[in-house]
Amino acid sequence: MSLKVPKPNNVQLFKEGYKHLQGLEEAVLRNIQAVAELSDLVRTSFGPNGRNKLVINHLGRLFVTSDAATIIREVEVVHPAAKLLVMASQAQESEMGDATNMVLIFSGELLKKAEHLLILGLHPSEIIKGYELACTKALAELETLSTSRLPSPLTLSTLAEALKPAIASKQYGFEDVLSKLVAEAALAVMPSNPKNFNIDNVRVVKIMGSNLSTSKVVQGMVFGREPEGMVKKTTKAKVAVFTCALDISQTETKGTVLIKNADEMLNFTRDEEKHLEKIFKEIADSGIKVIIAGSSVGELALHFLNRFNIAVLKVLSKFDLRRVCRVVNATPLARVGAPMPEEAGYVDIFETIEIGGDRVTVLRQLAKGEPGYDSSLEKTKTATIILRGATANHLDDLERAVDDGVNVIKALLKDPRLVPGAGATELELGKRIETYGNGLKGLAQHAVKRYAMALEVIPRTLAENALGGAEGNEVLSRLWAKHEQKGGEAYGVDVEAEQDGTLLATEHKILDSLAAKSWAIKLATEAAVSVLSVDSIIMSKPAGGPKVPQQASNWDDDD
C-alpha cells in the first residue's frame, strides 16, 4: 500500500491578481464562443447585400461601413482568442487587400463545427489533424477549379470586368462606375512589365458635393489646396522640392540690438532682405518655375516668389512629398538655394482648377500621344481618382472600395487565374472534401467532414443577406442539387433572385481571384487551429495608470 502524501491547497504559482483558466469548459469552449461572436458581428456585412455597421471609435470618430477590415480595426477587440482571428484577417488585408471578411466568417464557422465535435468527446488534436488534412485537400482542389484567366493585353473593359465582383461586394449598384474609374487609373500608371505595378501610384482625393457619376480620373497628382502665392498656373516648368522652411533663418541665441537713429532702424532688416532676395533670384535664374514646400513659407519669401513669378505649393504630408518627388522626378532639398540640374524635377502642367466649389491644384504629366508630349524626359506615372459624394462617410466608404479594387488588380497581375464567384467555388470545394472525408479512416474523418460543412457558410451567408434566412436555406438546397449534376461546378447564389436564386457564375462574369481565395482558406484554417490548440489562458493583472475616458453611457438617450 503506497503512502498518500497530502497536497497543499495554497500553492501560489503566479503573482497576486493573475487569472488562470484551463480545461475544455473554461478555456477552449469559452474561446470558441468569443470567436463565434466576432464572426457573427461581421457576417451580416458579407457580400453585395451586406449591411453597414455604424462604429464610433475611442476618439469619437464615426465610421459607416461594411468593410470587415475597417470594422475590426476600429472596434478594438480585446479577447485574446478573437485577436488571433483579427491578426489572420489583417494578414489577408496586407497580403491581398481583399477577402478579409471571408477569413473571419470561415474561421468562426470552423470553430463552431469543432465545438460540436469537442462536446461529442473528440480530442482537439484529432480535430486539428482533420482540419489540416482538409485544408491541404481544399488548396489542391482549388487549383483545378480555375475557369479563366485575366487576358494578357490588358484593356479597359477586361480589367473593369475582373474588378466588378470585388467592388460590388463593397458598393453594390456603383460597381460599373467605380470599376471603370479604377481600371482607367490603373492602366494610366501601368508599367511596361505589369508585375511591377505599384498600388501607391493610384491616389484618391475626396471632394464633397455632387454625386459619384461626376467622379473622374486625373493623370498626375491632385492636392486639395490652392498655391500660396499669386501664380496659379504654369506649363513645362522646372520644379524644386524643399523640405525646410522658406523663411529667414532664426538664430539659436537671443541678441539685443541698440538702435540709435531712424536710418539704423530702416536698415536693420535690409541685409536679411537682400540675402533672401539673392537666394530666390538664384532659384529663378536656374529656371525653376514651381516650388513645392514641405514646411512653412514666410511672408517675405512669398513676396520675392511672387516678384520672380514662381508658383509655390505647400505639401505638409511627408508621404505626399515623397510621392511628388517621384512624380516630378526631383530630389527633396533640406537647404534653401538653387537646386543642381539633376536635383530639379519637371512637370508638364501645374494648374489650379475648381471642382464642386473647391479649388484644387493639379500636377500633371502629359500622356503619350497628347500634344506637347516630350518622350525624352523621364516621367513617373501617377493617376488620381477624384471621388464625389454627398457625405464624408460615404466618400470614405467609396475610397475603401477603390483600395480593394486596386489591390485586386495587383493580385491578378501576379496570379491571373480566376475561379467562379458567388459562393460557387466554396460549395464545390465542400462537396469534394466531403467525398474525400468519406474515404478516410480514423477519428480525423469527422473533422474533415465538418470542414466541408463549414465551407457552406459562404454561399449560405450570401443567400441569407440577400434573401432572408428561410429563402437562403432553399437556395442552398437548390445549389447542392445543381453541383451534384455534371458540369454544375460554377453555380452560385443569385443575390437578385430573378429565377430560383441560383446562377451560373461564369456566364454572368462573377469571377474571383484564385490567389485571394487560397490565402483566405489557408489563413482561416491556421487561425482556427491556433485557437483549438489552446488549453489554458493565463492573464496577468492589468498595469495601473490613469483610466481611459469612456464614451458617455447615455449618448443615444432620447432626452
Q: What is the CATH number of the domain that holds 298?
A: 3.50.7.10
Pair (365, 506) in one structural domain = no
Would residue 177 count as lying in a domain? no
The angle subtended at Cα 207 by Cα 313 and Cα 169, nearest 5°, is 130
Would residue 395 count as lying in a domain? no
Contact status, residue 455 vs residue 485, Cβ threshold 8 Å: no
Q: What are phi and psi of 525, to 5 degrees?
A: -65, -45
Residues of the chain with pLDDT under 50: 559
- Model confidence over 129-148: pLDDT tens digits? 888 888 888 888 888 877 77
Pair (107, 245) in one structural domain = no
Pair (125, 242) in one structural domain = no
- Grid cell locating 261: 537713429
Looking at residue 142, what is its pLDDT? Answer: 83
Pair (224, 369) in one structural domain = yes
Pair (225, 374) in one structural domain = yes
Domain that holds residue 136: 18-148+420-540
Would residue 533 count as lying in a domain? yes
Give the Cα separation of 403 and 387 in Å (integer).
12
Would residue 260 count as lying in a domain? yes
Q: What are phi and psi of 242, to 5 degrees?
A: -115, 130
Would residue 384 count as lying in a domain? no
Pair (433, 535) in one structural domain = yes
Pair (229, 131) in one structural domain = no
Looking at residue 500, what is its pLDDT? Answer: 67
Pair (372, 425) in one structural domain = no
Would residue 387 count as lying in a domain? no
Would residue 169 count as lying in a domain? no
Amino acid occupying residue 296 = S
Looking at residue 559, what is its pLDDT? Answer: 47
Provide the domain count of the chain. 2
What CATH number has the domain bearing residue 468?
1.10.560.10
The burial of 195, by beta-carbon neighbours within 10 Å (0-12 exposed, 13-18 middle, 19 or more buried), is given as exposed
Pair (105, 22) in one structural domain = yes
Would residue 409 count as lying in a domain? no
Contact status, residue 47 vs residue 461, Cβ threshold 8 Å: yes
Looking at residue 548, what is its pLDDT? Answer: 59
Pair (71, 127) in one structural domain = yes
Looking at residue 200, what is its pLDDT? Answer: 75
Mind giving me the DSSP string for 436-458? HHHT--STHHHHHHHHHHHTTHH
Pair (236, 135) in one structural domain = no
For residue 328, the Cα-to-chain-centroid distance in whole angstroms is 26
487-490 long-range contacts, CB within 8 A, separation 24+: 489/145, 489/420, 489/424, 489/428, 490/147, 490/420, 490/424
Looking at residue 538, what is its pLDDT? Answer: 67
DSSP type of residue 294: S
- Grid cell locating 150: 485575366
Length of the chain: 559
Pair (234, 340) in one structural domain = yes
Residue 217's contacts (CB-CB under 8 Å, 6 or more residues apart) are 181, 184, 185, 188, 383, 384, 385, 386
What residue has cell string 470614405? Answer: 396
Beta bridge partners, 349, equal 235, 364
